[in-house]
Amino acid sequence: MSEPFHRTATGIAVDLPDELRRWLLGEAEAAGADVVTIGDPVHHRLLGPIDLSADHDDPLIELQRQFAVEGPLERFVATAHATLLSEDEAEEWIRAFQLMLAAAAARLAVQTDDDVAALKEEAAAELTTLQAGISLLIDALDA
């Protein structure tokens, strides 16, 4: 397989196997569902109160943060099968990958490097796959 993301004259070309695209879609959909479930570790990690001494933030702030999380995930899902992304879409993919990474880390109770080291190989691979996607997309945008 060639590089999964590379710059072309018209945008960022995407060359991902169908199996990986399906997995990424599943991660995005899971993150989107978990983030709106009060009490879920993903909800707490991505939308928990900024002031940890409070039960919640101002409702308007919470709603804005929810839109900031849901928007990139929804846009990723809408373009997940694309073979060419605009720069704006590629940047949205980066944001979505970051959110999926944070959601996966929350589900796996990862907070430190030691937590990652203690994971089973398959679980650690989830995190490194998302980290690699972020890095490779940034490289393609910078090319």
Of the candidates 18, 13, 15, 12, the one whose C-alpha atom is nearest the C-alpha of residue 4 is 15
Structure confidence by residue, pLDDT tens digits, 24-72: 999 999 988 887 777 777 777 777 766 666 666 677 777 777 778 888 9
Structure confidence by residue, pLDDT tens digits, 14-36: 999 999 999 999 999 998 888 77
Torsion of CA 128, 130, 135, 136, to 10 degrees: 110
Which pTM does this prediction carry? 0.85
Of the candidates 93, 77, 95, the one whose C-alpha atom is nearest the C-alpha of residue 26 is 77
| H/E element, 12 | strand 11-14
